[in-house]
Amino acid sequence: MLSTTEHRKLRLKARIRQNLTAYAFLAPALIFFVLFLAWPVVALLIQSFQTGGIMSPAKYVGLENWRQTFTDPLVVKSIRNTVVYSLMAIPAVFIIAMILALSLNTVRFGQNTFKTIIYYPTLQPILLAALMFTFVLHQDFGILNIILRAITGEPVNFLGNRNLALPTIAMVEVWKGAGFWTLLFLAGIQSLPRDLYHAAELDGAGPGRRFFQLTLPLLKPTFFFSFIFATIVNLQIFDSVFVLTDGGPVNATVTTTWYIYRSLFTFNEPGYGATLSFVLVILVLALTAVQTILFRERR
């Protein structure tokens, strides 16, 4: 018969064997995490304390890159433009997507066809979408300006006007992303218990009352995910800006991600670009934290 000490040793060996087996199964994911996520983040953090590294050897500069972010007016401008763009694009695309989702939910025949049509813009590469909107919005030969010239006699420089360029980019992104959010909201609406709606109809509740007192409250988890995900995605806006305006006119559409790209590949300042990357991460974390707190308070 085994003694207590021997029994504990056997249990310890069995536990170690189980842990080693578990870590063996986790090893591929852990290796992937370290190589492609943890180490790049550490390397980027180290780079934020350096200058050069592309055309010249990297040189340690301490907190100089971080100090520069607080005095660089273009950093403030890029953050402001990014936040303003997000405040325009996210509510607009959510409102349009909800209207489309509610409309699709009432369609009984050909719903899949309408889903395909609405979702199709989401599948378009941003380069193709940007080129298409260039032909639509161009001041001289754009289709929209041809119509406006015929009606008012004057074209509108949508992409060259500093007051219109950012809203125009937001419009392009709303057009491209509305299909995704429409199908997400439609799935949420169709998953709601129909018994509650039948009971509300029997009580005399109209469509508006059912929407505000049933649909919106029941879709809170969907909205929470949507706001967090949309915030993370829209704060990284780059493709439309790069293709349509390249930050112009007069830095009116400069965004944080665009400035990171320019710092890395145009200004040859990878250290400053790395610092701006962490500024963007801090901005994303701060806004998502605020949204999480507000959502929990209203539950």
Distances (CA, A) of 18 to 4, 10, 51, 179, 252: 21, 12, 47, 47, 58
Q: What is the mean pLDDT of residues 100-117?
A: 89
Domain residue ranges of the chain, discontinuous segments joined by +: 4-47, 68-297
pLDDT at 230 over 60: yes
The pLDDT score that the predictor gives to residue 37 is 86
Q: What is the pLDDT of residue 1?
A: 55
Tokens of 186: 């439609």
Q: What is the pLDDT of residues 201-222, one digit of tens each?
A: 888 878 888 888 888 888 988 9
Do the beta carbons of residue 264 and residue 273 sit within 8 Å? Answer: yes
**Mean pLDDT (whole number) for 170-195:** 92
2 pLDDT band, cuts 50/70/90, is low
Q: State which CATH number among 3.40.50.11900, 2.170.120.12, 1.10.1740.10, 1.10.3720.10 fits the domain covering 68-297.
A: 1.10.3720.10
DSSP assigned state of 37: I
C-beta of residue 147 within 8 angstroms of C-beta of residue 66: no
Q: Above 80 in pLDDT, residue 124? A: yes
Residue 245: count of CB within 10 angstroms of its CB: 23
Has residue 3 got a pLDDT over 70? Answer: no
State the pLDDT at residue 212.
87
- The pLDDT score that the predictor gives to residue 7 is 67
- What are the CB-based long-range contacts (under 8 Å, 24+) for 274-278? 274/44, 274/45, 274/47, 274/48, 274/65, 275/48, 275/65, 275/66, 275/68, 275/69, 276/69, 276/75, 277/44, 277/48, 278/44, 278/45, 278/48
| Residues 6 or more apart in contact with residue 49 via CB below 8 angstroms | 60, 61, 62, 63, 65, 271
